[in-house]
């Protein structure tokens, strides 16, 4: 039989997450690969979802999203960032940030257009750029003084006459970088000068550490009018299975994304929208406690990884630690990750698969720390086997 899958998707067979999660299941290793929490979100939020189902909130909600969630997102952005969005024309509820990214890229990039992405990239970015028939222009984030950043000249060089958008992610998965105002100003300057859209994935907006400030690029001068700001409930409220996300953008961009979105899914599931509207209003103190737990997990994991021989990069946000494996005597992350269950009973993700430039990514491996403290302790104890 000939391969039925369209050519442009053939490089996207199984994701590294499926491979590494299967490896964890097969070997009984602790899965610090895929980034999902092993505890539930705020109990009252869960109760609100159950109540919505019991109360018959179970039919198609409006295409743009349930009004109370759109209002809650608008209020959140106003209170937290001073960004005013009209809930009726400037907010769109999506099936997770994943659909928000898909709808934005498919709606905004013509075949042949170029989209600048920072590598290591989130895997759905490249798949969607490919599906749109567009071309990705990667800019590599490299460690400089302990954190990953980009070279402004490389970014400038990546923007050409066919560039339509810069797709950024801050706080950044997998490196843990929270872009500073200065870094964002470089990106914003290019967007303004070259008339580009910023597609900004901010799903970790609430998960920053040591007081690091998350700055939405839409708050920079002249950027609100050219930014598609994306977030989601999954990471903030530990409900990655709810797949409830949103876009905030000027009306023309929301209309564009919605035109695509209506034929991907038409609308997002109703009960979660109600519960998330509640959580955005009432449960940010719960998120603050989550942040503290995560920061303690982070510190524990970094200490353990360093003792085991990894070079670690302390993340200012997200729930991942990016490492360099070369001090351990390895230089291929994929090889180490395949061996890690037998070497140390732990599974991680080789981040080289998120780079176009194999040399830049080959020696990097990502560990998640969104698991219960006792699971993190056990993982750290097991990793100690590497230094014996
Ligand atoms: C988890 C994640 C997403 C996906 O969010 P969903 O709401 O689950 O679709 C998007 N971007 C990044 C960087 C992520 O880590």
* Alpha-helical runs (H) found in 109-220: 123-131, 152-158, 181-194
DSSP states of 14-27: S-HHHHHHHHHHHH
- Give the CA angle between residues 209, 213, 219 to the nearest 5°: 150
| Residue 273 structural domain | 59-281
The protein residue whose alpha carbon is closest to atom 2 in ligand 1 is 203
CATH number, domain with residue 153 = 3.40.640.10
pLDDT at 239: 98
The protein residue whose alpha carbon is closest to atom 7 in ligand 1 is 96
The protein residue whose alpha carbon is closest to atom 5 in ligand 1 is 97
What CA–CA distance (Å, rounded) separates 34 from 27?
16
Question: Which residues pair with residue 312 across a beta bridge?
Answer: 323
Among the atoms of ligand 1, which is closest to the Cα of residue 233?
A: 7
Residue 54 lies in a domain: no
Say whether both 289 and 268 belong to one domain: no
Q: Which residues does 40 contact at the CB level (< 8 Å), separation at least 6?
A: 46, 238, 239
Cα of 103 vs centre of ligand 1, distance in Å, is: 14
Q: How confident is the model at residue 37 (pLDDT cuts 50, 70, 90)?
A: very high
pLDDT above 90 for 35: no
Say whether both 17 and 155 belong to one domain: no
Q: Where does a domain end: 281, 309, 334? A: 281
Say whether both 196 and 338 belong to one domain: no
Say whether both 168 and 274 belong to one domain: yes
Cα of 230 vs centre of ligand 1, distance in Å, is: 10
Say whether both 100 and 152 belong to one domain: yes
Among the atoms of ligand 1, which is closest to the Cα of residue 100?
A: 9
Secondary element (H or E) of residue 169: strand 163-169
The token pair at 27 is 């070997």
The token pair at 61 is 């909600």
Cα of 98 vs centre of ligand 1, distance in Å, is: 6
User: How many other β-carbons are positioned within 10 Å of the β-carbon of residue 381?
Assistant: 12
Residue 236 lies in a domain: yes
Q: Are strands 349-350 and 91-94 parallel, antiparallel or unpaired?
A: unpaired
Q: Where does a domain end: 281, 301, 325? A: 281
Say whether both 302 and 367 belong to one domain: yes
Residue of 235, 320, 349, 354 best suited for mutating to test ligand 1, as the one with most atoms within 8 Å of CB: 235
Cα of 294 vs centre of ligand 1, distance in Å, is: 18
The token pair at 357 is 């430039």
Say whether both 301 and 164 belong to one domain: no
Cα of 205 vs centre of ligand 1, distance in Å, is: 11
Q: What is the DSSP letter of 243?
A: -
Q: Where does a domain end: 252, 281, 310? A: 281
Secondary element (H or E) of residue 73: helix 67-81
What CA–CA distance (Å, rounded) separates 188 from 185?
5
Q: Are strands 245-248 and 311-313 parallel, antiparallel or unpaired?
A: unpaired
- C-beta separation of 384 from 326 below 8 A: no
Say whether both 146 and 193 belong to one domain: yes
Residue 327 lies in a domain: yes
What CA–CA distance (Å, rounded) separates 331 from 336?
8
Tens-place pLDDT, residues 119-169: 999 999 999 999 999 999 999 999 999 999 999 999 999 999 999 999 999
- C-beta separation of 122 from 17 below 8 A: no
Q: Which residues does 17 contact at the CB level (< 8 Å), separation at least 6?
A: 33, 34, 349
Residue 172 lies in a domain: yes
The token pair at 218 is 């839409």
Instruction: For CA atoms 368, 369, 371, 375, give the dihedral sign.
Output: positive
Residue 166 lies in a domain: yes
Does the predicted TM-score (pTM) go above 0.95? yes
Instruction: For CA atoms 357, 358, 359, 364, give the dihedral sign.
Output: positive
Tens-place pLDDT, residues 319-350: 999 999 999 999 999 999 999 999 999 999 99
What CA–CA distance (Å, rounded) separates 202 from 199?
10
Query: Based on the structure, what is the number of domains in the chain?
Result: 2
Among the atoms of ligand 1, which is closest to the Cα of residue 101?
A: 10
Say whether both 274 and 290 belong to one domain: no
Tens-place pLDDT, residues 209-249: 999 999 999 999 999 999 999 999 999 999 999 999 999 99
User: How many other β-carbons are positioned within 10 Å of the β-carbon of residue 319?
Assistant: 27
Say whether both 364 and 240 belong to one domain: no
Among the atoms of ligand 1, which is closest to the Cα of residue 235?
A: 1
Among the atoms of ligand 1, which is closest to the Cα of residue 99?
A: 9
Among the atoms of ligand 1, which is closest to the Cα of residue 318?
A: 15
What CA–CA distance (Å, rounded) separates 140 from 128?
19
Say whether both 307 and 237 belong to one domain: no
Residue 235 lies in a domain: yes
pLDDT above 90 for 15: no
Residue 252 lies in a domain: yes
Say whether both 109 and 224 belong to one domain: yes
**Distance set, CA 156 to CA 55, 129, 144, 161, 314 (Å):** 53, 20, 19, 12, 27
Name residues contacting ligand 1 (CB within 6 A).
96-98, 122, 169, 173, 201, 203, 232, 234-235, 240, 243, 245
């Amino acid at each position: 039989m000939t391969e039925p899958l369209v050519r442009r998707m053939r490089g996207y067979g199984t994701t590294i997450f499926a491979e590494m999660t299967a490896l964890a299941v097969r070997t009984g290793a602790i899965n610090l690969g895929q980034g999902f929490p092993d505890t539930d979100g705020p109990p009252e939020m869960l109760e609100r979802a159950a109540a919505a189902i019991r109360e018959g909130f179970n039919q198609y909600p409006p295409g743009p999203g349930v009004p109370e969630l759109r209002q809650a997102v608008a209020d959140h952005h106003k209170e937290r960032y001073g960004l005013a969005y009209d809930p009726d024309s400037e907010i769109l509820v999506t099936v997770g940030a994943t659909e928000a990214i898909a709808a934005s890229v498919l709606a905004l990039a013509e075949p042949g257009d170029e989209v600048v992405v920072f590598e290591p990239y989130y895997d759905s970015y490249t798949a969607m750029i490919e599906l749109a028939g567009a071309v990705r222009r990667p800019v590599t984030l490299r460690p400089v003084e302990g954190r990953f950043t980009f070279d402004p000249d490389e970014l400038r060089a990546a923007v050409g006459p066919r560039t339509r958008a810069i797709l950024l992610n801050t706080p950044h998965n997998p490196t843990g970088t929270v872009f500073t105002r200065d870094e964002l100003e470089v990106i914003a300057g290019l967007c303004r000068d070259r008339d580009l859209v910023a597609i900004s994935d901010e799903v970790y907006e609430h998960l920053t550490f040591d007081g690091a400030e998350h700055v939405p690029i839409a708050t920079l001068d002249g950027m609100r009018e050219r930014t598609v700001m994306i977030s989601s409930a999954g990471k903030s409220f530990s409900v990655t299975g709810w797949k409830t996300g949103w876009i905030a953008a000027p009306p023309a961009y929301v209309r564009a994304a919605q035109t695509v979105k209506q034929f991907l899914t038409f609308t997002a599931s109703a009960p979660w929208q109600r519960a998330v509207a509640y959580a955005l209003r009432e449960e940010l103190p719960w998120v603050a406690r989550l942040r503290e737990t995560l920061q303690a997990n982070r510190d524990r994991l970094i200490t353990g990884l360093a003792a085991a021989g990894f070079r670690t990069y302390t993340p200012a946000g997200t729930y991942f630690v990016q490492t360099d494996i070369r001090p351990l005597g390895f230089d291929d992350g994929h090889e180490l990750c395949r061996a890690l269950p037998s070497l140390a009973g732990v599974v991680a993700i080789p981040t080289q698969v998120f780079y176009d430039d194999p040399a830049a990514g080959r020696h990097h491996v990502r560990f998640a720390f969104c698991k219960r403290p006792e699971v993190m302790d056990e993982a750290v104890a097991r990793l100690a086997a590497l230094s014996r």
